Amino acid sequence: MPNKKSAIKRVRTSERNRLYNRFWKSRCKTALKKVLTIVEKGEAEASVAAFNEAQSVFDKAVVKGVIHRNTAARKKALMAAKVKALSGETAPAAE
């Protein structure tokens, strides 16, 4: 247990940030799994809609500083490739 006042404040801040980051990371993982599950089922239209939603979630997590932009880009590229392979068309723009 910290003794100094500033250390006590840091413990509170760290816990708040940990919960915030956990929420966003969980949201990203859920969105990714949702896209991959829909792709496995073979539903082309639903996969594009889920991909667009997941892309938005990843972009928001980057803006909030929870995940690195390259990590988000890598995961979005993975999803785009799977959706593209399923639909047989050009991949949705992964920006």
The 10s digit of each residue's pLDDT in 38-95 is 999 999 999 999 999 999 999 999 999 999 999 999 999 999 999 999 887 655 566 5
Tell me how far apart the alpha carbons of residues 38 and 9 are, in angstroms, rounded to a whole number.
44
Tell me, what's the pLDDT at 11? 96
Q: Which domains does the chain have, with CATH numbers?
A: 5-87 (1.20.58.110)
- Residue 58, by phi and psi: left (phi above 0), alpha (psi -120 to 50) or beta? alpha
When pLDDT is cut at 50, 70 and 90, the band that residue 1 belongs to is confident
